[in-house]
Amino acid sequence: LPLVGKVQHYAWGKLGSESAVARLQRDGRGVAVDEDEPYAEYWFGTHPNGPSTVKLPEGDMLLHDFLVGRPAALGVSADSESSALPFLFKVLSVNQALSVQAHPNKALAAKLHAARPDIYKDANHKPELALALTPFEALCGFRPLPDIVAGIEGCPELRDLVGDGPLAALTSLCESAGGVSSAGSRSPATPAAAASGASAGSPTGSDGELSSSAAKAALQSAFAAFMASAKDEGLVRDAATALVARLRGEEAAAGSPNRELILRLAEKYPGDIGLFAPFWLNVVTLAPGSAIFLGAGEPHAYLSGDCVECMATSDNVVRAGLTPKLKDVPTLVSMLTYKTGVPAVLRGEALDDCATMFAPPVPEFAVQRITVSATRSTPYQLTEAPSAAVLLCVGGKGEAVVKDSDDERPVTLSAGSVFLETCGASVSVTASEDLLLFRVHTNAAE
């Protein structure tokens, strides 16, 4: 069944036809593109902030309403109270950095929603997977602890915001583990190291000695001191301004790590505390077809590029920087995991010669990346999904033949076409031009 998604025009989105979101909406629905407007996100799901509609012969209907009373189509038991997809599927086109943020776990989400429903819109958690369509740049998770210490010691503006006491505690832990002996003795994690899964700069790896409870407590204390400085807007603004001035005066070749990134962030967010985020968090650039998974309490910020993203059905965000919106510092500092190390870059598991599965450790969703060649001699049969699925065509042309209990029908596939696949349907695909498809359903492995 054809789906109509919801486009979100957030200010950080790419403008006009530079945006994959705008192009997919144009190609799939014939909607004209406003070249002066940002196209940030394309939502497919039942979340009330951006509900999809399903196109039926008798007219359009909200996807949520269609699924009410159709538990078999959703793939849940007949006595289930749920009539909503457990996942929210998106396309993102990022022109400038999103806020530095993290998402609460289920228990905290329920608590926050009950206390502040105007800020925290629902009671669900929001684990998410970002799967790159183009080179996709992000801040993701705390860097190895020796790299954080070296970065603070090498940045006088940040050192002043953190304070001598918290920094001394971090340095002592690293020295006792042999991780750092002087400022700058460890190089920061690099995108190449992240892509290879290497633990750049960490003598014990992301799960080793420096991930002990003592190290996490010391990191939390230092990060809390840093974030507490945000209460004095003038102090933070002066420190950020001094940082930018110093970096602009450095030679690019011999400058501070992440110099160009910080200067780029400063153009959009001058004086913001988020300009110091690259000293704390890993900078990762995903190649197309690779992904990162972000569980509850993991700090991150998307910086640039296009991706597909899937998450549990939620819109809860706790922000820390690079935003004019509310920064809920006490909640953020208390909820982070403070895990350190280079984040895992996911390649997925090959199901066959066409499909790769990205199945994170949550039950709400799994994502298939499917490529079907125009030279393939036989139709490609999609694997059976454990629930209703959303199928999005990003590129190419072809046809899907859908068989369910009612009938068998052909469906045209081209860039921007998106469909609801009811649970139990059989789908085979033929390409006239090489197809790139993404398919989301629940995670049967969890």
- For the annotated catalytic residues, the residue numbers are 319
- Residue listed under structure tokens 């490529």: 371
> Which of 313, 309, 280 lies closest to 292, judged by CA?
309
d(CA 194, CA 134): 17
Using a 10 angstrom Cβ sphere, with 0-12 exposed, 13-18 middle and 19 or more buried, the burial of residue 418 is buried
> Which of 303, 137, 166, 294 lies closest to 225, judged by CA?
166
Q: With both helix axes pointing from N to C terminus, report the angle between 213-228 and 145-153 in degrees, rounded to the nearest 10.
A: 40
SS3 397: strand
Using a 10 angstrom Cβ sphere, with 0-12 exposed, 13-18 middle and 19 or more buried, the burial of residue 72 is middle
Give φ, ψ of 315 to 5 degrees: -135, 30
Give φ, ψ of 285 to 5 degrees: -115, 115
List, in sequence order, every residue forming a beta bridge with 412; answer none if it has no partner: 399
Degrees, nearest 5: CA angle 198-282-98:
145
Paired tokens of 161:
């915001």
Containing 331, the helix (H) or strand (E) segment is helix 329-335
> Is-contact 124 312, C-beta < 8 A?
yes
Q: Cβ neighbours of residue 320 under 8 Å, at least 6 residues apart?
A: 99, 100, 101, 102, 227, 273, 274, 277, 299, 327, 329, 332
Rounded to the nearest 5 percent, the helix, strand and coil shares of the chain are 30, 30, 40
d(CA 263, CA 378): 52
Paired tokens of 55:
């196109």
List, in sequence order, every residue forming a beta bridge with 60; answer none if it has no partner: 55
